[in-house]
Amino acid sequence: MANSMMDQDILRVLHSEEEIHARVQELGSQIYEEFKDRNPLFVGVLKGCFLFMADIIRACQIKSEIEFIAVSSYGNARESSGNVQITRDLGHDITGRDLIVVEDILDSGNTLYFLTQYFMTKGAASVTIVTLFDKPERREKPIKADYVGFQVPNEFIVGYGLDYRQQYRNLPYVGVLKPEIYE
Ligand code: PRP
């Protein structure tokens, strides 16, 4: 594939498209084994999840449904405000459902801590967290994912759904953004 203009803003590739694809297939198989006898509801956390969601549900061929919720705690900032707002709510009754929450990245943990409580309050039977990337060094809330694609260092990463000021989400790989772009 031709290099894009966006590639020039990337310091180094952290996980290639092929590596991400292979890991998503592995995660899909593991989730399949755990959930094959149930009818889970995959809940994607917008917007960052959109590519991972599309890939993980195809890597996991079980009877299931999908839903999305959109939240915001960052705005255009680099640090989570800790104040998580639902900007688009679920369109489904989740009472008694087994949820598989799909995230692109678990960072401070503010988003998933808030959402786990929210889903349990709404009557979910269980909440299983799947995140493609995990930055444990940044954690502020006591929350752990059940399935993690890759642990990543505390660097500014973009691509495969992850943005900087809403851009770079369409890069097929995940890379470290050059500091001069955001400093
Ligand atoms: C990002 C990401 C997670 C959240 C993780 O979303 O998609 O939802 O931050 O960070 P946390 O663990 O510190 O809460 P963001 O609010 O940037 O919105 P986006 O998905 O639209 O990019």
SS3 51: helix
User: Which residue ranges have their beta carbon within 6 Å of ligand 1?
Assistant: 45, 47-48, 72-74, 80, 103-111, 163
Nearest-Å Rg of the Cα atoms of the chain is: 16
Give the whole-angstrom CA distance, residue 119 versus residue 72: 16
Specify the length of the chain in residues: 183
Query: Ligand 1 mean position to 163 CA, how many Å?
Result: 9
Give the whole-angstrom CA distance, residue 20 versus residue 173: 7
Q: Omega of the bond prior to 47 within 30 degrees of 0, cis? A: yes
pLDDT tens, the chain, 183 aa long? 556 799 999 999 999 999 999 999 999 999 999 999 999 999 999 999 999 999 999 999 999 999 999 998 876 677 777 789 999 999 889 999 999 999 999 999 999 999 999 999 999 999 999 999 999 999 999 999 999 999 999 999 999 999 999 999 999 999 999 999 998
Query: Ligand 1 mean position to 37 CA, how many Å?
Result: 31
Q: Are residues 59 and 65 in contact, defined by beta-carbon separation less than 8 angstroms?
A: no
* Fold of domain 5-72+96-182: Rossmann fold (3.40.50)
Is pTM beyond 0.85 here? yes
